[in-house]
Amino acid sequence: MERTLTVPGRYNRLEQICEFVAAVATEAGLDETAINRCQLAVDEACTNIIEHGYGGEDKGAIDIACTPGQGEVMIKIHDHAPPFNPASVPQPNLDAMLDDVKIGGLGVYFMRQVMDVVKFSYENGGNTLTLIKRKEK
């Protein structure tokens, strides 16, 4: 059964969001590593919504819907920011020297590394990010 949470776009709500996701992922039977990966992806996504989508705190809400399945969890994060095109985010240069790496720009990359499915869409007047994490076999 789908669980939902709506919070204002504020950095101090990230912990609440991550706890909500962890509870549903636990219900789905995911282990601690998989749950931590879900939390990392959700934290990155919601931080990006606040910072880049809304351009700061208190400028919009974040809707999270989590659906536990048999050995997997589906997380949908919806905002009402302008359309986001993930293709506009450049691929990170993972071979660059640490001194040459700029801060930021790795959120989408990290999400794709830690989740099994990462899908972006623009619908219902906002962006929807669908994340799926499956239990390791």
Domains (ranges, CATH) in the chain? 3-134 (3.30.565.10)
User: Rounded to whole angstroms, how far apart are CA atoms 35 and 37?
Assistant: 5
Q: How confident is the model at residue 54 (pLDDT cuts 50, 70, 90)?
A: very high
CB 21 within 8 A of CB 38: yes
Percent of the chain predicted with pLDDT > 70: 87
pLDDT at 94: 60
91-122: pLDDT as tens digits: 665 666 555 555 556 678 889 999 999 999 99
pLDDT at 5 > cutoff 90? yes
Q: What is the mean pLDDT of the chain?
A: 90
Least confident window among 4-8, 96-100, 128-132:
96-100
pLDDT higher at 101 or 90: 90
Percent of the chain predicted with pLDDT > 90: 76
